[in-house]
């Protein structure tokens, strides 16, 4: 049985207090909790402070391009469905430059878990506006306050077809671990948006701010996360500032229904074809 | 010095016009009309039948980026010997409208014959000796109850004009429409028969005599370059394709969709080419041979991903079926203008290989090479085909299965990993050859992080100067043993005065020009199948004593000529023959320029 230390690699370089530390810790704990071995898990990240997570996760890693963790993770999962694939990155990565990929992965229901460390700002590029920044938010690139409305990831994911949608908070590790475990276990696309404060550049959406505003849906026994309309209504009521499993449904994953779906993972296929097989492929053209 | 050809010349007449039966070593036939009129299916039925009875054919489709209207045509060159080009001239034109006559007359021989639909009054410029055969293509089709089968009437009329037997046509029709019911088959057969009879009755003395068809016990392979790419990829062990539809590359996607799933392969129609290329990178990293196929606009979108494959040392195969650029450019016309992008594209510097298959057969063989090279050197391999090669159909004698060899390069075994027994594996270890073995995710003790940042041996990002230089040098060392010279072919004397140089799809026209010019010049033909790393040694050896070098390429700026000058020198001896009007070269384009 693997231990948390087996899922660690080198020391992260985030600012002290950065929300991303507990996200990494929760990922490691969730993997241990699920009885996974490091080699079974592949963490794929984009570029940004959050994106560095793949380097420090003790499983296999792919620290890909800005906004491209999802297509990278898609290729990996379809090549070897036996792997547990976790994509991860910042809000700019997933909802700015990479938004298109996020939506398509949701509707395809690729069996990966996508953890977005949402700090409402671009951290690595030193405090620039993010598509998740609140209206009026002042940054170096929005000196007079943002004139744009923010993306609402949870609602977007529900209507786009993500079959598991949850939100967590770096300040509540216990709940985050539980959500990660559920998300990883879930078959299909899991979007887990994590409020992960940037202590250096975002002086508005701080730990205290989130603590003050967050509504924890997991604690609401009347809430039914399998009811799509209900989920949308409740998220809307709290202006998306909530945590917990918001929506889930059972749907076959893409690798099970796509053309060429097979029990054998691509990586285990025998590539050498028998001579007669090759000949019959060639002979197709004798038409 | 560079000069360009203007092919928009006037058609010209030959002095001696022979009426009656013409004896031909080979023959060129074309059908033209509006898009959506069944032009392709007319061409296909003829091409398939001729190939089946033993002829070698080469078929070229000229089409437009619209669904209905415009002008489209399908040309077939028929020969008793292998052909790889659709020919400069035209002997038979089947015209569904006047536009088809206007568009194609300049290509026609003086002894040419035009079969046209008598629902319009065909007009020829004064003095044209081309003969006209009005046939009620639409009329007969209408009588048979369906206008669309005028294409079969046209096929029947052509059959008679070429003095061919009807039976093989009927057989092809039966197979083609077999699943659609007896009724449809009978109607099509009647249409062919009546087109044939009408020609026989009204234009009995118009006939072209083809050479005897070679005896074959089974038909030649009849394939496009795109199909050859698909087949090559599959036999090379490719089991993942992500692509976004684009002319002229889509048929690669079609062919693999039909065939790869039978072998456990997976195909994704990605949301765009950025995703397509990166999905292929992800699959390759996970241990599955994977590729993406595209054309210029999509290839442009892949530039950042190219760098990702380069620095993360992930094997990757990209097929770029080039078309007229820039931007959306000429989506349905051929061009060879992406080799600069293939060679230099993407920011930063990385090793890569750019192969340019020169024939439809090579489209097959080069795909096998591409996958082996990508894994051997752990770098992107770009295969640049083009519309002309990709969409033209050719009779191919056979493909050599013994050349299908799968070499997965340096992959670390589980035993080796177990023996090390460490948590992480130095995937990017700085080795002497530059190549470091790779584990696949899922293998215990093989953990590493692939990444787009500069990194140390396990995949931690670094910015220190020594580490950076060591990794850059390591990556570039990988190609030290690669020899692009294996993809260079030369024909001609040892020390030619003049050499015709081309890359990719221009082979056939250059070869025919070379054959024609050989009697008067000391001339050679050099065709380059690998443009990067440039096969400098091989090329320099051939060109060492040459006085004049003509570089023939389908682009405006002479990209190959510039590469040649940059790598081999000989600046003052190089002249570029360029064509970028969307059409492939004619043999005449080349011979007239060389003759000066
Ligand atoms: C194509 C491209 N454009 C821009 C950048 C520069 N860049 C790096 S990270 C980043 C934004 C990071 O913000 P986010 O994704 O929210 O992650 P965070 O740093 O906040 O964790 C940008 C714009 C890049 N690396 N690549
Ligand atoms: S800048 Fe912000 S997001 Fe980046 S490491 Fe520091 S606190 Fe975290």
Question: Residue ranges per domain, chain A?
Answer: 4-262
Q: Which two tokens stand for residue B593?
A: 């320029």
What pLDDT does residue B2 have? 34
Q: What residues 406-465 of chain B have any CB closer than 8 A to a CB of chain A?
A: 406, 423-424, 440-453, 458-461
Which alpha helices (DSSP H) does B268-312 contain, by range?
Answer: 273-285, 296-301, 303-311
What pLDDT does residue B571 have? 83
Reported ipTM exceeds the 0.85 cut? yes
Q: Which two tokens stand for residue B199?
A: 């020609």
The one-digit pLDDT tens for each residue of chain B (596 residues) are 333 333 332 222 222 233 345 556 799 999 999 988 889 999 999 999 999 999 999 999 998 888 888 899 999 999 999 999 999 999 999 999 999 999 999 999 998 999 999 999 999 999 999 999 999 999 999 999 999 999 999 999 999 999 999 999 999 999 988 888 899 999 999 999 999 999 999 999 989 999 899 999 999 999 999 999 999 999 999 999 999 999 999 999 999 999 999 999 999 999 999 999 999 999 999 999 999 999 999 999 999 999 999 999 999 999 999 999 999 999 999 999 999 999 999 999 999 999 999 999 999 999 999 999 999 999 999 999 999 999 999 999 999 999 999 999 999 999 999 999 999 999 999 999 999 999 999 999 999 999 999 999 999 999 999 999 999 999 999 999 999 999 999 999 999 999 999 999 999 999 999 999 999 999 999 999 999 999 999 999 999 999 999 999 999 999 999 999 999 998 899 999 999 999 999 999 999 999 99
Residues of A in contact with B305 (CB under 8 A): 65, 68
pLDDT in tens, A62-95: 999 999 999 999 999 999 999 999 999 999 999 9
What pLDDT does residue B69 have? 81
- Residue by residue, DSSP assigns B450-511 as EESS-B-TTS-B---HHHHHHHHHHHHHGGGG--GGGGEEEES-SS-SEEEEEEGGGHHHHH
Chain centroid to CA B313: how far?
Answer: 28
Q: Is the CB of A119 under 6 A from ligand 2?
A: yes
Residue with tokens 């449809």: B184
Contact between B560 and B354 under an 8 Å Cβ cutoff? The reply is no
- Cross-chain CB nearest to B404 (options A259, A267, A278): A278
- B44, B220, B256, B264: best to mutate for the A interface, most A CBs within 10 A: B264
What pLDDT does residue B22 have? 56
Q: What residues 39-78 of chain B have any CB closer than 8 A to a CB of chain A?
A: 48, 51-52
What pLDDT does residue B543 have? 96
DSSP, res B336: -
What pLDDT does residue B21 have? 53
- CA dihedral angle for residue A195, residue A199, residue A202, residue A206, rounded to 10 degrees: 50
A97 touching B (Cβ < 8 Å): no
Cα–Cα nearest to A205, from A154, A256, A138: A138
Q: What residues 308-347 of chain B have any CB closer than 8 A to a CB of chain A?
A: 308, 312
A145 pLDDT exceeds 90?
yes
Q: Which two tokens stand for residue B27?
A: 């023959």
CB-based contact A62 B312, cutoff 8 Å: yes
Q: Residue with the nearest Cα to atom 1 of ligand 2?
A: A123
Contact between B367 and B233 under an 8 Å Cβ cutoff? The reply is yes
C-alpha neighbours within 13 Å on the C-beta side of residue B230: 28
Q: What residues 240-259 of chain B have any CB closer than 8 A to a CB of chain A?
A: 240, 242, 257, 259
Q: Which two tokens stand for residue B410?
A: 């340096």
CB-based contact B271 A273, cutoff 8 Å: no
- B23 in helix, strand or coil? strand
CB-based contact A75 B284, cutoff 8 Å: yes
What pLDDT does residue B68 have? 81
Neighbour-count burial of A15, counting CB atoms closer than 10 A to its CB (0-12 exposed, 13-18 middle, 19+ buried): middle
The contacts of residue B508 (CB under 8 Å, 6+ apart) are B58, B83, B84, B85, B359
Q: Is the CB of A166 under 6 A from ligand 2?
A: no
Which of A45, A47, A97, A130 has most ligand 1 atoms within 8 Å of its beta carbon, as the pocket-test mutant? A47
List of domains in chain B: 16-209 (3.40.920.10), 225-394 (3.40.50.970), 414-481 (no CATH), 484-595 (3.40.50.920)
Cα–Cα nearest to B496, from B527, B521, B519, B514: B521
What pLDDT does residue B180 have? 87
For B162, phi then psi, to 5°, come to -90, 5
**CATH-assigned architecture of domain A4-262:** 3-Layer(aba) Sandwich (3.40)
Mean pLDDT across chain A, nearest whole number? 97
Which of A49, A121, A170, A171 has most ligand 2 atoms within 8 Å of its beta carbon, as the pocket-test mutant? A49
The contacts of residue A229 (CB under 8 Å, 6+ apart) are none
Q: Residue with the nearest Cα to atom 6 of ligand 2?
A: A15
Residue with tokens 């016009």: B17
Distance CA B116, CA B55 (A): 25
The contacts of residue B350 (CB under 8 Å, 6+ apart) are B306, B307, B310, B311, B379, B380, B475
What pLDDT does residue B11 have? 27
pLDDT in tens, A238-262: 999 999 999 999 999 999 999 999 9
A286: left (phi over 0), alpha (psi -120 to 50) or beta: beta
pLDDT in tens, A219-241: 999 999 999 999 999 999 999 99
What pLDDT does residue B24 have? 65
Distance CA A85, CA A247 (A): 20
Cα–Cα nearest to B459, from A45, A123, A5: A45
Which alpha helices (DSSP H) does chain A contain, by range?
Answer: 20-33, 53-56, 69-79, 91, 99-108, 153-160, 173-185, 207-213, 228-237, 254-257, 275-283
Say what the pTM is: 0.96
Q: Which two tokens stand for residue A171?
A: 């300040």
Distance CA B132, CA B112 (A): 9
Q: How far is A48 from chain B (nearest CA, A)?
A: 11
What B372-376 contacts at long range (C-beta under 8 Å, 24+ apart), as own/partner pairs, is B372/B236, B372/B405, B372/B406, B372/B407, B372/B409, B373/B482, B374/B284, B374/B315, B374/B316, B374/B317, B375/B289, B375/B315, B375/B407, B375/B408, B375/B409, B376/B407, B376/B409, B376/B410, B376/B435
The alpha carbon of A216 and the centre of ligand 1 are apart by a number of angstroms equal to: 30
pLDDT mean over A110-136: 97
């Amino acid at each position: 049985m693997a231990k948390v230390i087996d899922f660690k690699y080198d020391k992260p370089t985030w600012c002290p207090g950065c929300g991303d530390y507990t996200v990494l810790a929760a990922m490691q704990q969730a993997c241990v909790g699920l009885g996974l071995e490091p080699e079974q898990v592949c963490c794929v990240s984009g570029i940004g402070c959050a994106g560095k997570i793949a380097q420090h996760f003790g499983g296999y890693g792919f620290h890909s391009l800005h906004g491209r963790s999802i297509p990278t993770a898609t290729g990996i999962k379809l090549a070897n469905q036996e792997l547990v694939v976790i994509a991860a990155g910042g809000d700019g990565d997933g909802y700015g430059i990479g938004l298109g990929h996020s939506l398509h992965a949701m509707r395809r229901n690729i069996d990966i878990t996508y953890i977005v460390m949402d700090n409402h700002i671009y951290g690595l590029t030193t405090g620039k506006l993010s598509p998740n920044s609140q209206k009026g938010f002042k940054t170096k690139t929005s000196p007079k306050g943002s004139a744009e409305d923010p993306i609402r990831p949870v609602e977007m994911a529900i209507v786009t077809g993500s079959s598991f949608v949850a939100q967590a908070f770096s300040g509540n590790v216990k709940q985050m671990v539980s959500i990660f475990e559920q998300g990883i276990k879930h078959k299909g696309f899991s979007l887990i948006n994590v409020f992960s404060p940037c202590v250096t550049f975002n002086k508005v959406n701080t730990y205290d701010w989130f603590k003050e505003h967050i509504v924890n849906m997991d604690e609401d026994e009347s809430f039914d996360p399998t009811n799509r309309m209900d989920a949308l209504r409740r998220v809307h009521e709290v202006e998306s500032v909530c945590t917990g499993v918001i929506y889930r449904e059972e749907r076959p994953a893409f690798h099970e229904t796509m053309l060429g779906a097979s029990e054998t993972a691509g990586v285990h296929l025998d590539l050498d074809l028998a001579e007669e097989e090759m000949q019959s492929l060639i002979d197709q053209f004798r038409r | 010095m560079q000069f360009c050809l203007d092919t928009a010349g006037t058609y010209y007449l030959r002095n001696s016009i022979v009426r009656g039966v013409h004896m031909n070593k080979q023959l060129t036939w074309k059908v033209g009309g509006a898009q959506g009129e069944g032009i392709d299916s007319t061409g296909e039925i003829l091409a398939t039948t001729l190939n089946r009875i033993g002829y070698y054919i080469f078929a070229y489709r000229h089409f437009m980026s619209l669904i209905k209207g415009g002008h489209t045509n399908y040309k077939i060159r028929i020969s008793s010997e292998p052909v790889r080009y659709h020919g400069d001239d035209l002997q038979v034109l089947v015209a569904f409208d006047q536009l088809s006559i206007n568009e194609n007359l300049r290509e026609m021989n003086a002894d040419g014959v035009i079969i046209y639909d008598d629902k319009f009054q065909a007009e020829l410029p004064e003095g044209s000796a081309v003969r006209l055969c009005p046939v009620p293509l639409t009329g007969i089709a209408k009588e048979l109850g369906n206008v669309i089968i005028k294409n079969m009437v046209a096929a029947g009329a052509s059959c008679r004009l070429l003095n061919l037997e009807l039976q093989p046509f009927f057989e092809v029709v039966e197979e083609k429409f077999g699943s659609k019911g007896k009724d449809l088959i009978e109607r099509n057969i009647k249409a062919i028969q009546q087109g044939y009879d009408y020609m026989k009755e009204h234009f009995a003395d118009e006939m072209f005599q083809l050479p005897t068809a070679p005896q074959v016990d089974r038909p030649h392979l009849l394939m496009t370059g795109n199909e050859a790419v698909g087949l090559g990829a599959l036999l090379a062990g490719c089991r993942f394709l992500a692509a976004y539809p684009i002319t002229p590359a889509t048929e690669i996607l079609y062919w693999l969709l039909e065939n790869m799933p039978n072998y456990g392969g997976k195909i994704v129609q990605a949301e765009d080419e950025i995703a397509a290329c990166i999905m292929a990178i992800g699959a390759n990293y996970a241990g599955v041979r994977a590729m993406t196929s595209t054309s210029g606009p999509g290839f442009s979108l892949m530039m950042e991903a190219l760098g990702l494959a380069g620095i993360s040392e992930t094997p990757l195969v990209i097929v770029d079926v080039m078309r007229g650029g820039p931007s959306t450019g000429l989506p349905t016309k051929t061009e060879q203008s992406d080799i600069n992008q293939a060679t230099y594209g993407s920011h930063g510097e990385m090793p890569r290989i750019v192969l340019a298959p020169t024939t439809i057969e090579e489209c097959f063989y080069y795909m096998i090479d591409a996958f082996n090279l990508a894994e051997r050197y752990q770098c992107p391999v770009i295969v640049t085909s083009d519309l002309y090669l990709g969409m033209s159909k050719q009779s191919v004698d056979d493909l050599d299965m013994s050349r299908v060899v799968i070499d997965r390069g340096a992959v670390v075994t589980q035993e080796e990993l177990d023996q090390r027994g460490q948590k992480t594996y130095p995937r990017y270890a700085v080795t002497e050859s530059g190549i470091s073995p790779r584990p696949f995710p899922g293998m215990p003790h093989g953990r590493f992080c692939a990444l787009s940042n500069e990194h140390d041996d396990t995949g931690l990002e670094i910015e220190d100067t020594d580490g950076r230089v060591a990794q850059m040098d390591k990556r570039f060392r990988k190609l030290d043993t690669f020899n692009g010279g294996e993809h260079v072919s030369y024909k001609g004397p040892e020390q030619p005065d003049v050499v015709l140089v081309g890359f990719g799809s221009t082979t056939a026209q250059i070869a025919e020009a070379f054959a024609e010019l050989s009697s008067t010049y000391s001339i050679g033909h050099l065709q380059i199948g690998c443009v990067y790393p440039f096969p400098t040694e091989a090329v320099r050896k051939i060109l060492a004593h040459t006085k004049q070098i003509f570089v023939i390429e389908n682009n405006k700026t002479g990209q190959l000529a510039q590469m040649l000058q940059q790598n081999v020198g000989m600046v003052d001896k190089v002249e570029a023959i360029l064509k970028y009007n969307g059409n492939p070269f004619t043999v005449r384009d080349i011979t007239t320029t060389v003759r000066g």
